[in-house]
Amino acid sequence: MTHHSVVKYHFRPLMIASAVGFICQNTLAQSTPSINDTPFANRPLHLQSESKTTSAGGVKPNVMLFLDDSGSMLENANTGSYRIPELWNTYLGNCTYNQNNLLISRNLLPGNGQQTNPSMGRCLYYYNADIIYYRNKGLPPGPKSFLRPAAQVRMDANINAINEVLTKTGDSVNWHLLTLWGSEFRHLNGGFYNFDNIGTASVGLSAEKARKLVNNMSPIAGTPATERYLKAANVLDHQIKYRCQKNYIVFMSDGEANGGGFPWPGGVYGTQPQWWSQHDSSGPNSGDPGKGVSVFSSKLYNMDMRVGGTDVEGGSWDDPKYPKQNIETITIGYGNGLTPQGRNYLKNAAQPSEGAYFANNASELADAFLKALAKVQTQTPAEAKETSSISTPSVTGSSVADLAAFLTLDTGKWSSELKFYKFSTSGSTAGELLRDGQNNLAPPVPAIYADRRVLVNNGTQKYWLNGSDAKKEDFAILSDKEFKDGFVPWLMRSNKTDEQIELDVAGVTPRTVKKYRKRSAQADDPSRQMGDVLDAPTIALGKDQDNRQEFVITAANDGMLYVFQSTRDPARPYGLKLNYLPAGMQRESADDSITVGKAIHAIAEEGYGKDNVNYPHLYLHNGGLTWGLTAETNGLNQQYVVLATMGQGGRGAYGLTIGGKKRLDGNGNTPAGMNAPESNWLNEVPLWETEKGKDNTLGYTVSKGTLAQVATRWNNGEAVRNKGVHYYAFVANGYKAKNAAVSYESPTLYIYDMLGQEFGTDTTRTSGNISNGNTPGKRIKKISVGGAEGALSSPTVVDVDFDGVIDIAYAGDQFGNLYRFDFRSDPSGWKVNKMYTGIPTQPITSAPAVYRKDGNKYVVIFGTGSDIFEDDRKDMNQQMIMGIHDDLTQDPVNLLSNDSRIAQQAFTSDNKIRKIEVNNFDPKTHSAWRINLEPGAISTSDGRTVASEKVVSKPQMLLSTAYITSRIYEYKETATALPSGATRGNTCFEENSKVETGGTSWLMSIDVRTGAAPTYSSGTVFKGGAENTAGKNLNSISSQGAIIDANKVAPDIEATLPNGDQGDGKASPLTPPGEKGTPPRNDCLAKDAKPNIVVANDSKTALQDNPLDGKRCGDPSLFRASEREIQL
């Protein structure tokens, strides 16, 4: 699969650059919830550029079971001892042959005197006794021709193993059967043997018919394997009907070829008789390389058996898609009595060579058969294959000092890699991506993955995935062996290859994963080490000894959070240390029947992600990530914490302690989170998870949460900051599950206590217990919006007066409304007011931005549009960008969408830049402004659909200018049908459906005070841009912009931004009681600032710089927003 770069996607800070191209199709509704059910499109719309070639059913492979029914198959299945000659008088006639169901009768023959033993094997025909008692005397066969051995013999083990294969594989292959002596036909002769059946093959069998024949097999005579192999090959040759058909001989034998039969004429398949005609085990040819069966098997594998002409459906045998028709040979050697020459005989016969298997006992034989048939099924033509076309890139970024985190995505493996680009930190290029002499981006440096641990939280218990107390039930795995040898090593990317993992569990029953998919040929391949990262941010926090962030964190759709830790090695700056797996998070069920953990096995299945109905791509963890550092409160220690939402993967959120020192520890010596010893991580890292079960009313938590200090006591309109200050997590309710039985609420803001601790200024090291009475994760309050439906978008929480505690929050909803939440009272007085009533076709799906005009006057900026649902791809409804002035001294006025107080701004465009040359905003009559974006249209010339332009990411503020990335999706669907001679379900022909998804993004720049174009004198502008420029065409689907200033990098950034809104970072110190906070200036840039907004384009590098400029002032501390390298 070719790697491409790709855009990030809304709702969260856009932090990665991913490489991908794939298609999105409708998922069929099901009557009961399943792990595949989701209300969302299976794949992001911005990754739907591709063509898809679908097999119209494929052709079943031919499998010839070439089986040994020689006399030595009567030996003990496990010990190899041949006890029957000494005991044959005792066991002769002790069973009755049953040709109807082939089950042995438990009733012994009268007068036998033997007791029934349930462990004894089938009722077998015994040729030696038949000769002695009947045939040599000219008598017809009688009861003493049958015996039921006291212990399981090789023939029984062989029959049992093949029965298991037939049950598991069913009619997915064309079965054919040939034995050495034709004993499978004895049901035609009352259970007795008939020499007329020697060399007779059965072709075109169903699994059930093959089972009836196999169950009749009995040990007969010698082992004329080479001659009979040639017969099997000849029969199979005549069964090759289709150019794409795979063909296999599965040859099982417990011994060496030892004579029997007659030499085949010379010249067969280009051979000579002397190369293979010697069958005796003492002869010089049977085990030598290039002799015996290998003479033919190598020819059959390497030659093209069909040249010129057409197959049964009219397709050319020389079709370049299927250039060669051949036969592969898989061998299974059974029994500990095989000599080295015998092993070589079978090993050399396997073509290709990796198709040789050996088994010493009955259990190993069953396992070998299943592994052999697993190889057959692996190589069956896939139902669908996908090829990338147009890639859609995304900017990456993080607050990693002088580094930008970059994630690739490979849709062949459904995996990502974490890499790091460097920024220049000096000279004229400071703040820009580091380039070489040819102006190409310097190669990124990779992360490492050698030290992984997986911490599982099932909602009630925490454990290590590879520990003794791990629970297979949390992952819907049926057997202990599959869990230990298959699922766990596959998910943990053990030192075994994916192929070896599948081989290790090929014989396991019952199985949950039918076949573990192969992601890479090498166990240590970096592209195998992560699940696919789609839409989750990458965050960086902490400080190590090199003044670089200690931790880099992201989340992947294998259900796990990925925590990388600094290595202090510039060539490999970060290494994976911990995966956190919230296995108990619910998806489409009101109970624990469909959870993230119980869905993970689906991503391990062969074919995953290539069929949107049966094997769709799954989101399992792609929500928002927020980090915080607790405030410095009177010298108390500081802890790094993370708030994570599950995104489209689940209905919930959780909190973790990542590092720092325990805030409760008075002596300052106790490390917290992952800075504690690894043996303590089970208890130190997990803080809390949201509630589970029927009372879980959260939807899919796609939004990004927020962390902030909140005053729970107020006095005369002023926050009491000496006591009652808590550190809260704010989480929007999320999107409704597809399953109507799952509880759900109207747009609601959920508020949780992050740590359960007191943060007031009276708190000191000597305060003793600083618990606030709440347990970590306790839900403090739900603030629901009355009279509305759907999901609340990510909240933007604001500290208006910069005293260290928040005052208000803004959030939109799924149906286009905007709200102000007010926290300027104790919790009983917290309230919400609608400030804009929109229309349902203009959803607000990302967080708004804010601009502080003065202490109590704000502008709230947001865009509308959605691209998470399947219908969004064809949405033609016009979307907009809007700014609303808000006076915090009074309740907001609920503007209607057609209110005359909304100024309508319009842009002109030449397809390169947009301009707003007329400013229609009048502050005397207008309290809001609106810019309508491009509506959707259908091209009459080529049928291409251009969907409406939309905004699905948070505006990024720099002074009074908002930088907003919009998206315009274009797509065209075409399809080709099967030719007239092809039969759906049994054809090599393919149906081609092509979805061409292109489009563009505009990077808008808007003066948020008026909705007009920004100016250098009052805001920031594109450096060197034309006057009145309000946007530039990025010429590809692109990501949200990320504002950087490399001159202001600092590992611990302030959470409170220049406009009072709360981002990731260190919680602000509380203003002492009686004092006022000091708002920073937000009207000019620091003198030495080098601002840049980085976005993605469709280049190979995926990153594009857009230098900015604006009014300067001398104070170097003004540019607080860019103290992070990438604005989150």
Give residue for tokens 């049926």: 478
Question: What pLDDT is recorded for position 1037?
Answer: 77
List the one residue out of 1, 374, 55 whose CA is nearest residue 245. 55
**62-83+151-379 is classed CATH 3.60.9.10:** no
**Burial label, 134 (beta-carbon count in 10 A; 0-12, 13-18, 19+):** middle
Strand partners of residue 735: 700
CA distances to 111, 314, 464 from 505, rounded to whole Å, are: 46, 40, 22
Phi-psi region of 865 (alpha: psi -120 to 50; beta: other; left: phi over 0): left
In this structure, which amino acid lies at residue 495?
N
Q: What is the block-wise mean pLDDT of the chain (1128 residues), using blocks of 10 residues?
A: 30 27 29 78 65 65 94 82 55 70 40 43 80 85 82 86 89 94 88 86 95 90 88 96 94 77 43 41 44 88 95 93 94 86 89 90 84 64 30 33 72 85 67 71 86 96 96 97 98 95 92 94 93 87 80 95 91 94 95 95 91 83 95 89 97 97 76 96 97 93 96 94 96 92 91 96 80 95 90 96 97 97 97 97 96 94 93 92 97 95 96 94 97 89 88 94 92 79 82 75 96 92 90 84 69 85 94 89 87 66 77 56 29
DSSP one-letter code for 133: H
* 902-905 vs 880-887, strand pairing mode: unpaired
> The tokens of 996 are what?
């061409």
Q: What angle do CA 1079, 1080, 1084 make, to 5 degrees?
A: 140
In this structure, which amino acid lies at residue 922?
D
The 3-state DSSP composition of the chain as helix, strand, coil percent (nearest 5) reads 15, 30, 55
* 574-581 vs 796-798, strand pairing mode: unpaired
CB distance 488 to 461 below 8 Å: no
Give residue for tokens 């980085």: 1094
CB distance 596 to 583 below 8 Å: yes
| 393 prior amide bond cis, ω within 30 | no
DSSP one-letter code for 440: P
Q: What would the DSSP string read from start to end of 829-888?
A: G-EEEEEEE--TTS---S--EEEEEETTEEEEEEE----SSGGGGG-----EEEEEEEET
Distance, CA of 540 to CA of 1064 (rounded, Å): 10
Question: What pLDDT is recorded for position 682?
Answer: 97
3-state secondary structure of 793: coil
In this structure, which amino acid lies at residue 26?
N
In this structure, which amino acid lies at residue 519?
R
CB distance 23 to 48 below 8 Å: yes
| 935 prior amide bond cis, ω within 30 | no
In this structure, which amino acid lies at residue 594?
I
**Domain locations in the chain as residue ranges:** 62-83+151-379, 84-150
List the one residue out of 790, 688, 695 whose CA is nearest residue 748. 790
Report which secondary-structure segment, H or E, holds 303: none
List the one residue out of 675, 444, 645 whose CA is nearest residue 565. 675
Question: What pLDDT is recorded for position 193?
Answer: 84
Q: What would the DSSP string read from start to end of 806-835?
A: --EEEEEBTTS-EEEEE-SS-GGG-EEEEE
Distance, CA of 220 to CA of 774 (rounded, Å): 79
Neighbours of 873 (CB within 10 A): 18
* pTM, rounded to two decimals: 0.72
> The tokens of 440 are what?
């190409």
| Phi, psi of 505, rounded to the nearest 5 degrees | -120, 15
Report which secondary-structure segment, H or E, holds 1107: strand 1104-1110
List the one residue out of 847, 771, 851, 860 whose CA is nearest residue 811. 847
Give residue for tokens 């491009």: 934
Using the CB atoms, write b or e for 719-744: b if 16+ within 10 Å. bbbebbbbbbbbbbbbbbbbbeebeb
Report which secondary-structure segment, H or E, holds 574: strand 574-581
DSSP one-letter code for 595: B
Question: What pLDDT is recorded for position 1097?
Answer: 54
CB distance 331 to 349 below 8 Å: yes
DSSP one-letter code for 407: E
CB distance 328 to 248 below 8 Å: yes
| Phi, psi of 628, rounded to the nearest 5 degrees | -145, 155
CB distance 449 to 563 below 8 Å: no
Give residue for tokens 């049992």: 160
CA distances to 12, 268, 398, 684, 970 from 562, rounded to whole Å, are: 17, 59, 15, 17, 34
Question: What pLDDT is recorded for position 547?
Answer: 67
Distance, CA of 148 to CA of 141 (rounded, Å): 16
DSSP one-letter code for 423: B
Using the CB atoms, write b or e for 143-153: b if 16+ within 10 Å. bbbbbbbbebb
